[in-house]
Amino acid sequence: MSDLASIAIEHILQQFSSHASTHSSPLFVGLQGPQGIGKTTLARALVAGLTCAPHSLRVVALSIDDLYLAHDALQSIGRENSGNGLLQGRGLPGTHDVQLGAEVLKTLSLMENTRSAPVDVKTTRIPAYDKSSHQGLGDRVHEGEWPVVQSPVDIIILEGWCFGCQPLPPGELTERWERRTELGMPGSVRLEHGIDDIKVISNSLKEYANAWYKYFTCFIQVSPNSDDKLSVVYKWRLQQEHAMKEANGGKGMTDEEVIRFVDRYIPGYIFFDEPSARQRDASTPWDGHGLKILVDEERNPVGIEGF
């Protein structure tokens, strides 16, 4: 098991012990980090480590990527926002099925954990998404192929690049917009309507926060410990695409397409506050129960911070 997984597992076990002493429902764990940092790999390691002895817990892991809108719906979003380059394909808030995610999380929250008294078994299906479909544009897997989860469940892990992030208040958004070049906005990101294109994404993120965040009382953020955090995202995302294409026979995006793909995400890193950022007028259910793990460019942990 990697050092990164070991650190994360220790945090989750501490939070689960406290949670299960007073709740019969699963502990919901948010996992956030930029593209390519290894969230999916880490989530798999967490499931493997938590389900084996001596812990032997029932764990379900899902990704915000599995909650993307179906291909046809994504195409419609792009056409309806033809002047907003940030919505020309999956990626940013506004391209996920918020209602579907809320339904899945609510169903999972009603399941009992293994420390509860015996109850009627509950089941639900977890959405799945094929990123390689439609030449890398992606599409939702047919519902009949979604994996089935059965209670009891101890821990739910949801990972995603923007999961847990917070939209900025209007004044701070404007301030960052005026400093966007200084903050790392590439010149290749074209915003036809200027800051209004960012506001559309920010408003969508508010929907995620209202519908999803209330379930999560534990959080883990993995963050690059680099002065140039945005450049390393391009490096990691290219590595990720190459690995996927090597495994599936070459289906996916070209390097140039990956760079354009990441370009669309960069405003999100600039204009959303991280899950560990405390706003003056807002709080999150995971306040005081979060762990930020700093990693180097090889994804090795180099520091931790509580939040």
Domain of 244, CATH number, reads 3.40.50.300
Number of structural domains in the chain: 1
Number of continuous H segments (helices) and E segments (strands) in the chain? 8, 12
pLDDT value of residue 253:
86
pLDDT value of residue 261:
83
pLDDT value of residue 27:
98
Which secondary-structure segment (H or E) carries 11? helix 3-20
User: Which parts of the chain have pLDDT scores under 50?
Assistant: none
**pTM beyond 0.85, yes or no:** yes
Cα-Cα-Cα-Cα torsion 274, 280, 284, 286, nearest 10 degrees, comes to 70
Crossing angle (nearest 10°) for helices 98-109 and 195-212: 20
Q: Summarize the chain as % helix, strand, coil (round to 5).
A: 40, 20, 40
pLDDT value of residue 106:
97
Alpha-helix residue ranges (DSSP H) falling in 129-272: 170-178, 195-212, 229-248, 255-271
Cα-Cα-Cα-Cα torsion 247, 252, 256, 261, nearest 10 degrees, comes to -110
CA atoms within 13 A on the CB side of 215: 25
Length of the chain in terms of residues written: 307
Which amino acid is residue 144, in one-letter code? G
**Of 136, 139, 159, whose CA–CA distance to 260 is shortest?**
136
pLDDT value of residue 282:
66
pLDDT value of residue 229:
86
| Alpha-carbon gap, residue 67 to 97, rounded angstroms | 6
DSSP tag of 111: S
- Which structural domain range is residue 19 located in? 1-306
